[in-house]
């Protein structure tokens, strides 16, 4: 299957700082990328959908000013957690598709964010 | 709103046993259904993708079926091995209430295969 690389895999930051997470599709062009958040022993919660060159679409209840998403190219999307607080500590996972809804989705390795 | 449920939530079996994981969804107008594997602290590995026009897909010891009209899918794992221990997630793509391009995930089945 196609490869999606997410970096970093783990990050610890101080409360009030910002953290950027990168998601890259290594061997295909991702027209759409998705960002998920996963709480312990829970399933994945979709945060936002981003299409290359346009603004991300955020799910209800997700603060777009806190979770900034940029999809500047067909192979790179970034999630920036701004002014992080301990409650933002979580596992963040990105996903990418080469086409629309009937194409296979591939996932990154995830990023464990800990805010202290 | 599309809702996806997986049963059982947890399963422990002896090595070598064949097993079935279940997934049900409320909105049958889907594009596809995907099964994933997640190891602790890791991302998701895609196992099988079934398009809405298909009834099943096979890969090695894995076989996934889809009955769109009844809103059900099963993942069959033959001759289970300790290395199969992981959380298995099903996700449905699209649907009238799911949002065309999105995946809606189930709650997962945590599988443990014991020696």
Taking only the tens place, the pLDDT of each residue in B3-55 is 999 999 999 999 999 999 999 999 888 889 999 999 998 999 999 999 999 99
Lookup: tokens for B107: 């709650």
Distance of alpha carbon A87 from alpha carbon B46, whole angstroms: 29
Is A110 close to B41, i.e. CB distance below 8 A?
yes
Please give the pLDDT value at position B95. 62
Instruction: Tell me which residues of chain B have a C-beta less than 8 Å from any C-beta of chain A.
Output: 31-32, 34, 36, 41-46, 49, 51-52, 89, 91, 93-94, 100-108
Say if CB B38 and CB B108 are below 8 A apart: yes
Distance of alpha carbon B64 from alpha carbon B68, whole angstroms: 13
Distance of alpha carbon A10 from alpha carbon A12, whole angstroms: 7
Lookup: tokens for B32: 């596809």
Which of B109, B96, B97, B102 lies closest to B36 in space, CA to CA?
Answer: B109
Taking only the tens place, the pLDDT of each residue in A37-79 is 998 878 899 999 988 878 899 999 999 999 999 988 889 999 9
- Contact residues on chain A for B43, CB-CB shorter than 8 A: 4, 6, 93, 107-110
Which residues share a beta bridge with B6?
B23
Lookup: tokens for B50: 């079934």
């Amino acid at each position: 299957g196609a490869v999606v690389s997410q970096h970093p895999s783990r990050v610890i930051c101080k409360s009030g700082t910002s953290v950027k997470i990168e998601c890259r599709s290594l061997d295909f062009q991702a027209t759409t990328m998705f960002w998920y958040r996963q709480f312990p022993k829970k399933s994945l919660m979709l945060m936002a959908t981003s299409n290359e060159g346009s603004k991300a679409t955020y799910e209800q209840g997700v603060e777009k000013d806190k979770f900034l998403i940029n999809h500047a190219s067909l192979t790179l999307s970034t999630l920036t957690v701004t002014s992080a607080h301990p409650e933002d500590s979580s596992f963040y996972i990105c996903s990418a598709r080469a086409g629309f809804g009937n194409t296979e989705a591939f996932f990154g390795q995830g990023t464990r964010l800990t805010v202290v | 709103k599309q809702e996806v449920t997986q049963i059982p939530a947890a399963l422990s079996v002896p090595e070598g046993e064949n097993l079935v994981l279940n997934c049900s969804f409320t909105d049958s107008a889907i594009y596809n259904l995907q099964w994933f594997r997640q190891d602790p602290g890791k991302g998701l590995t895609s196992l099988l993708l079934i398009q809405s026009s298909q009834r099943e897909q096979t890969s090695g010891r894995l076989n996934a079926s889809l009955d769109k009209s009844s809103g059900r899918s099963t993942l069959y794992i033959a001759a289970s091995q300790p290395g199969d221990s992981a959380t298995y997630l099903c996700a449905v793509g699209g649907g009238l209430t799911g949002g065309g391009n999105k995946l809606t995930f189930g709650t997962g089945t945590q599988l443990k295969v014991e020696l």
